[in-house]
Structure 1
Amino acid sequence: MRLRLGTAGRRRFWQSSKALLLLPITLIVVITAVDMKAPTSIHLGPALVIAPALTPSFAGPRTTAAVGALATLAQILIAVTHGGIGTSNHVVQIITLAVLSVLVVLYSALRERRQAQLAQVRTVAEAAQHVLMWPLPEQIGPLRIASLYLAAEDEAQIGGDLYAATRCDDAVRVLIGDVRGKGLPAIGEAALLLGAFREGSHRHHGLDDLVTTLEQSVARYTADMEPEEEAGERFATALLVEIPDRDQTTRMTSCGHPPPLLLSPGHVVTMPSLHPSPPLGVQVVPAKVEHTLDVFSFEPGDTLLLYTDGVVEARDTRGRFYPLAERVARWTDDSPEALMHHLRRDLLAHAGGRLGDDAALIALHRAPVDRHRLHGHGRGHGHGRAAVRQDVAGAEGP
């Protein structure tokens, strides 16, 4: 699909370039015709330089050279019409136009070479970014997944925000985090966290041990790589969620990261109670930090929405933050893919088309089960949902 789109795009570009080529050619014809009919005291020939000067904006050096040669021939024709090619004024005009055309061709060649180098760098950067941020599968365990990443830095596909999901025994573990900074400079620390999470998820049975491993990895990185002028300023927030396949009691622990949103059918949005510990890397030599393990009920038919602060801190022209919980209430019954589509369009519209910080979202949807299975566990589900509502009320408080 990408190859077809690329080929079609090049074809459209070439067709538009051929259409734009009519502009300098038309200028040459018009200027030449008018100058040949104008009185000898009026000299429009110097304006012919406009034609080769415009051509590099849509064509390469060969086309530019052809337009420059055509403009020079037109200047010679004008000279023959007005007093002969040997007059000093016409000789100077012809030489000047030829020299300027050569300079424009050289500029066009250098510009084309620079564009080729930039395209190669972009290709390498995109490949490196894809290796770092593996695409999430559409289905993992009992969950359907959709994700969205909006990088604040131009030409970047990822930055300081990160996410990953992996299978571990009979559960799915998900990480979403936010490294201090944005864009390409923050990719190194994001890669560190992702690697530590993917490796540690299969070595540790509990989230508390896993988050301790992440803390130690960040501490080693900052000790070895952090510049002295940035001492104590490199840290990362992280939220780890563990979703069992058969148990609806979902566990999570947060290191300074905002809590997820639980979307239930019927435009119901709740926020599970969360007791975050300090962000990763705040302490250069990490002490033993007690990470609270929060639990909530993630029932069939629900969607769990994880996000980074770049989403809720996006501002509109009046400086108002993006009201994520209010907006997603409209789309609680949508699929994860449709939810991401709505959020992308709505978030960019709120921020005026450009975000001030990287933003990432993950939607995890637990597929509904049949009525027979629901009937066998109905009471437990209802109790879990009530507990969630009570936790949310307590978290919001007076």
Structure 2
Amino acid sequence: MPEATPRRSAVLSVLPYAVMAVVTVVDVTAGPAVGFLPLVSLGPAFAGLVGGWRRTALIGGLAMLLCLTLGLYDGLFDSRRGWTALASVAGVTVAGLVAAVMRQRREAELASVRSIAEVAQRVLLRPVPRSAGPLRVAVSYTSALAEARIGGDLYEVVASPTGVRVIVGDVQGKGLDAVETAALVLGAFREAAHDEPDLAGVGARLERVADRELQGEKFVTAVLAEVGNDGMVTLLNYGHPAPMVLRPDGRVGFAEPPLAALPLGLGLHGAKGPEPYRADFAPGDQILLYTDGVSEARDPADRFYPLGERGDLLKDPDPESALLALRGDLVRHAEGPLHDDAAMLLLRYHAADVIGGTAPRAPGAAGRPTAEGRKGL
């Protein structure tokens, strides 16, 4: 696929000359009775598809010269046929010039918009640190909009005094409204992650901001995580897909919350917020936080992506390469562009990064979350 666009551009670049050459050969061999001469105007018509106005003007001038030469050769200027053909070529050339100028302006505007989008991405979705505390971090983000750099999914990693705090979320809807909401939530998280003494306080701050600004009209599913050096991860889930946990021995499971909770922004409905819960997370373990653009990606047979069966793709020693392999498998499963934004954030706990070379598991823990209701861990 990457070679398809350059190949099409090359074909379109040659097409005006090829068309004029074919018209010339047919006119000379078949004679003026066939009436092919006005088709010389196809040259400047196709020229407006690629290249600038100067190239279009050059091909238009060439077409005018060719039309004049063939008209004299065929003796068509003794009647209106020659002048009509010449007028057709001139008219199409002018139309091609206008089209080329307008296309160049649109391309310049699109380049400007892309540049602004890239700046907005750096502000909204800043590059996450490759390492934070005892963790190595990798992130992958794919927008469902082909020309977009950002969308409605969000993520952030903050090293706070109490541990590494993480958020992955998914905003309802798409487009600029979703980007605005994502910016609101990320701004509140970045501030609260440094100020609040525990993860519940961070979540409460996000709930207040979301309820005040979104007023129950929009919502954001999100999962918050806090990792310290105690061999545990604390999670807070606002209606978001449960994180996938991978153990060094190959076991894969999902850290499900004990009770379901509403997404951020729906607190005005009076429902109780989520309760923090904990799961084992020690050296050698990995946690994948993701949005539903990953878990709900479908193949042509309408089958969901089997994320729980793809844990072996995350065995690469380099977390970025591991996540790249998982993303490639996701795209192959969909066999085409994704229909929803897809964000993945991989947290890998490394023993070498922990003081003393180890991080203890909680007493009595045997690789399971500490609250009931989790699956496969």
Fold match by TM threshold 0.5: yes
Change (3 A) 1:334 1:384: farther
Which of 21-30 and 319-328 deviates more? 21-30
Which residue, 242, 256, 263 being the options, matches 2:226?
242
Supply the RMSD in Å over aligned alpha carbons. 2.8
Aligned residues: 372
Q: Deviations over 1:297-352 (max 9, x none)?
A: 21111111111122111111222111111112443454321221111111111122
Which of 33-42 and 103-112 deviates more? 33-42
Secondary structure in structure 1 of the residue aligned to 2:144: coil
The residue that corresponds to 2:174 in the other structure is: 182
Which residue, 243, 256, 262 being the options, matches 1:278?
262
Change (3 A) 1:61 1:370: closer
Whole-angstrom distance in 2 between the partners of 1:148 and 1:371: 25
The residue that corresponds to 1:351 in the other structure is: 334
Structure 2: runs of 5 or more not aligned:
none
Paired AA for residue 205 in structure 2:
T
- 1:67 CA drift (Å): 0.7
Given that 1:153 and 1:184 are in contact with CA atoms closer than 8 Å, whether structure 2 keeps it comes out as: no
Whole-angstrom distance in 2 between the partners of 1:46 and 1:158: 48
The residue that corresponds to 1:46 in the other structure is: 38
Paired AA for residue 356 in structure 1:
H
Are residue 25 (structure 1) and residue 17 (structure 2) matched?
A: yes
Are residue 306 (structure 1) and residue 289 (structure 2) matched?
A: yes
Which of 304-313 and 276-285 deviates more? 276-285
Which residue, 290, 302, 322 being the options, matches 1:319?
302
Which residue, 348, 356, 364 being the options, matches 1:365?
348
- 1:235 CA drift (Å): 1.1
Are residue 386 (structure 1) and residue 337 (structure 2) matched?
A: no
The TM-score with structure 1 as length reference comes to 0.85
- 1:203 CA drift (Å): 1.3
Which of 29-38 and 85-94 deviates more? 29-38
The TM-score with structure 2 as length reference comes to 0.89
Paired AA for residue 381 in structure 1:
R
Given that 1:273 and 1:395 are in contact with CA atoms closer than 8 Å, whether structure 2 keeps it comes out as: yes
Q: How does 1:151-300 map to 2 (within 5 A)?
A: 151-223=143-215, 232-244=216-228, 246-275=229-258, 276-284=260-268, 289=272, 291-300=274-283
The residue that corresponds to 2:89 in the other structure is: 97
- 1:154 CA drift (Å): 2.7
- 1:389 CA drift (Å): 6.5
Structure 1: runs of 5 or more not aligned:
1-8, 224-231
- 1:139 CA drift (Å): 1.4
The residue that corresponds to 2:125 in the other structure is: 133
Change (3 A) 1:33 1:388: same
Overall identity of the aligned pairs, in %: 38
The residue that corresponds to 2:61 in the other structure is: 69
